[in-house]
Amino acid sequence: MKREVLRLENVTIENKGIVYLDDFSLTIVEGEIIGMIGTNHHGLDELIRLICDNISLKFGRVYFNEKVVNTYLWDTRVTNKVFLIDQKSRLVPDLTVSDNIFVLRKGFKKYVINRKMLNQQVNQTMQELGLKIDPNLLVSQLNSFERCTVELIRAVLTGSNLILLREINEVLSSSELSDFFDMIRYYRKQGISFLYIANHHEEVFQICTRFALVEDGRIVKFLFQDEMNEQHITPFVKPIENLEKKRRIHNSPVLELQDIRTEYMNGISCKVYAGECLTFLDCNNMLIQDLVSLFKSDQIEFEGSIIKDGKTVQSKKDFRNLSEDLIVIPENPIKNMLFSELTYLENLSFLVDQKIHKSLMKRSIYKSIEKEYIKEIGEDLKVSYIDQMSPQSLYTLIYYKALLYNPEVVCIVQPFLGADMYLRVHIAKLINRLKQEGIAVIILTIHVTDVLAVSDELYLVENGRLSQEDKIKENKSVKENYYRYRFEEKLKKNK
Amino acid sequence: MYIMKRTYIFPRVVRLLVSHAVITILFLTGLLFFIHTEHFGDMIVRIMIAEHILTLTLFYYRIFKPVKEMNRAFVAFSEGYTMQDIFNQRFEINAEHDAMIQRVNQILDKTEMFKMSKRQAEYLALQNQINPHFLYNTLEGIRSEALIGGMDSVAEMAEALAKFFRYTISNLKTMVTVEDELNNVRNYCLIQQYRFGNKIQLKIEYDDGDEEIIRNSKMPKLILQPIVENSIRHGIEPLIGQGSIVIRLQIVSGKLHIFISDNGIGMANDALLELNQKLKKTFPAVEESEQSGGIAMVNVNNRIKLLFGDEYGLHFYSTPQLGTDVEILLPVNESKAG
């Protein structure tokens, strides 16, 4: 008989009239990996807080290790022995790996720390997992994969029998994710349970033993192992349809990279055409930083040549021109590209002053912009405080900001990062809008999911080098087959 | 179960008020004596303020919070969300109130027993009306004739129908094994297959390693068949194409989880919310259920909740055009079994 680790019984969470979880029932069994995706993110934060910290309920009960830990009748304020691993590190950056794993945990009461012994234990665990992470390394020196691994080991060694994973696929590349899944499978066999919340069912299906689809704080569908396939999930997901592709108008590229070599790039060459989208799928999560630095004309040493409009970019002036004609939309652009103290219209017009070389813009320019975009953006354009706006409206603002600036090339870093199903569809439409205006788009991503719908060309980069045979031409069926092949291959391997 | 030793609030109120009154009187008396003494007068006032703060703190934690907790249970009970919580509270007003609550519990149990016996009587009345032996003999006769006439399918159908009636009418046990319930579902689907052909496919899956325990576990009679019937009538019958029903059974920590999934036409979101809302409650108005449909599901859910408690019962998941899943939660081999 299997043992129950967590049971949520008819849980309803309401705050200020908003229902976050509605009659939510879920049982997690020992050694089970529950995959969960939300068509929207509503209620998922509250679900995590409920499982970790037993927040107040309107109705229902929570059982952890077969004991009631939270009920609507009284507030317990007890924290459960559950670990959360997500995009944000919960480790102390200035301490070593072994200190983070052992010294900071509850119940560690030794006054004299035997570092040799701690390191030995870390090494032993690493060996079991087939990894090599120096226990004396500072956490700040770890990459995302190593950080997630250390958090996982810490959770296991602390004795937690339920680990929550939230959108870790957003910080791990495909190959890293595959390795991380191997570790999860290893610990699953030891009876540890996982709840993996992600944005894409493709990733979740590879690892989970049961799957739950959540919408508006309610579970709408459970899928069992034999049902975890495209046929069963397709009716529930909102796909990004392959958007209409235009024929190549210009034969000469707006931007060309020829044999670019940096610390992490090893002979990258590509041509970007107006109104087309080129995607770099970075399998090892190495390339993105260097390419962004190159496009932003930051101080980066490189070999090879950048050709813009048929001319090699050499002088400082050329680089300045390049940075004026190319804008980068970074990861999490809501945080990194918008100013909460400015109005929607001011945010929208923010880059225009650079283009017209005026630090103060006339009121008439604002009026003209408002007149031009009110039809497409709508009443959002008149909003004074953008803080309370929906992510959808803010993404519209970001992409229309780029559209208004009208550069020749827009480089987007991980455009679908952290976006729910509806937002992803919206972002895809916004990218297509850029293409329709004849702007060339370069997408830098570590995951293939979603980008295929907007890409005209896909370059697979492994260890900083282009995989020539995997360069995918503009062909719908080739793309789909390629994608399915990769997905099914992974599934086969995992089963 | 989380039943704890009950604590009475009224004695706490009395203790707190008396001690507060006594302390206040003592200090006020002291203040009268030392009112002209600067040092002592100040000290007494400070101590009195501290005592008031302490009393308020004690009042909040030892009286206000328990009353709030009780109130939550009363609200949940009055709205029909729970049957058990007001009888299993950690706090009560006083011993007399507790006795009254327990008495209400007993009355409710008796009312329910009365209802159950009434239902039992209805079964018996139905049984007498039908005269099952006559019915079985007739069905056996049809079966023999069909076999002689080479009509195997008619013979099989008559046999399935006889088995179905024997289980539904003649078997008067309230608790049966899961195996019996599943056999009845198989039999019911076989009868339906004569109507729908191969349109209905039934699949039963047990969790690895627990098949034997699951089969021999006890559960209330006629829980699965009404749900499967509902799936066929409202889900698969209007469906164009192949219909399938999958029953998955799993035991987790002494609880039997049964998932019945169909690929029928599903339910509209509003109907689903309404049904789940009814299923959360133990006593929905019967008239209301009869008018708005879903009475079979509500009755099945009520039976489970009344037999085993609020934590057990049914829950529906459904998407229009994509099918419906019903999750049934039951205890395994409870002492009430048999």
User: How many other CB atoms are found less than 10 A from the CB of residue A251?
Assistant: 6
Res A376 pLDDT > 60:
yes
Pairing of the two strands A67-71 and A59-64:
antiparallel
Please state the rounded mean pLDDT for residues A6-25.
90
Backbone angles phi, psi at A10, to 5 degrees: 45, 45
DSSP bridge pairs for A82: A162
Using a CB-CB distance cutoff of 8 angstroms, which residues of chain B are in contact with residue A235? 319, 321-322
Q: How far is CA B135 from CA B120, B147, B161, in A?
A: 20, 18, 10
Position A237 scores a pLDDT of 76
Average pLDDT value over all residues in chain A:
83
DSSP for B86-149, please give it: TTS-SEES-HHHHHHHHHHHHHHHHHHHHHHHHHHHHHHHHHHHH-HHHHHHHHHHHHHHHHHT
Task: Find, among A95, A98, A103, the residue nearest to A135 by Cα.
Answer: A98
Of B62, B317, B322, which to mutate for an interface test with A (greatest number of A Cβ within 10 Å)?
B317
Cα Rg of chain A (Å, integer):
25
Residues of CATH 3.40.50.300 domain(s) within chain A? 4-233, 255-494
> How would you label B197-226 residue by residue, b for 16+ Cβ within 10 Å and e otherwise?
eebbebeeebbeebeebbeebbbbbbbbbe
How many H helices and E strands in chain A?
17, 20
Across A243-259, average pLDDT: 73
- Do B322 and A235 lie within an 8 Å CB cutoff? yes
Shortest Cα–Cα distance, B190 to chain A (Å): 25
Neighbouring residues of A88: CB distance < 8 A, sequence distance ≥ 6: none
- Asked if residues A311 and A318 have their Cβ atoms less than 8 Å apart, the reply is yes
How far apart are alpha carbons A450 and A483 in whole angstroms?
A: 10
Picking from A2, A59, A222, the nearest residue to B251 by CB comes out as A2
Q: Does A410 have pLDDT greater than 90?
A: yes
What is the three-class DSSP state of A331?
A: coil
Which pLDDT belongs to residue B291?
Answer: 43
**Pick from B90, B257, B319: CB nearest A27:** B257
Chain A hits for B254, Cβ within 8 Å: 1
How far apart are the C-alpha atoms of A156 and A150, rounded to whole Å? 10
Mean pLDDT, range A346-356, rounded to an integer: 81
Q: What is the 3-state secondary structure (H, E, C) of B181-227?
A: HHHHHHHHHHHHHHHHHHHEEEEEEECCCCHHHHHHCEEECCCHHHH
Say if residue A243's pLDDT is above 90: no
User: Are residues A220 and B319, on separate chains, in Cβ contact within 8 Å?
Assistant: yes
Provide the 3-class DSSP secondary structure of residue A268. strand
In the prediction, which pLDDT does A483 show? 47
ipTM greater than 0.95, yes or no?
no
- What does the pLDDT profile of chain B (338 residues) look like in tens digits? 444 568 889 999 999 999 999 998 988 888 888 777 777 777 888 888 999 999 999 999 999 999 988 888 888 887 777 777 888 888 888 888 888 888 887 777 656 655 665 565 555 555 555 566 667 777 777 877 777 787 778 888 888 888 887 777 766 667 889 999 999 999 888 888 887 877 888 999 998 788 888 998 998 888 899 899 999 988 898 888 888 999 999 998 889 999 999 989 999 888 888 888 888 776 544 444 444 446 778 888 888 887 788 888 999 999 888 889 999 999 986 544 43
**Across the beta sheet with A18-29, what order do the strands follow?**
A18-29, A4-15, A59-64, A67-71
CA distance A247 to chain B (A): 38
Structural fold of domain A4-233: Rossmann fold (3.40.50)
Segment A56-78 shows an average pLDDT of 87
Pick among A14, A32, A56, A73 to test the B interface (most B CBs inside 10 A): A73
Please tell me the CATH superfamily of domain A255-494, with its number: P-loop containing nucleotide triphosphate hydrolases (3.40.50.300)
The dihedral built from the CA positions of residue B322, B323, B329 and B332, taken in this order, carries a sign that is negative
Contacts of B248 in chain A (CB under 8 A): 224
Mean pLDDT of the A346-368 span? 80
Residue A269 reports pLDDT greater than 50: yes
- Does residue A47 contact residue A24 with C-beta atoms inside 8 Å? yes
Those residues whose C-beta lies under 8 Å from the C-beta of residue A94, and which sit 6 or more positions away, are A138, A139, A140
Share of chain A above pLDDT 70, in %: 91
One-letter amino acid identity for A235? P
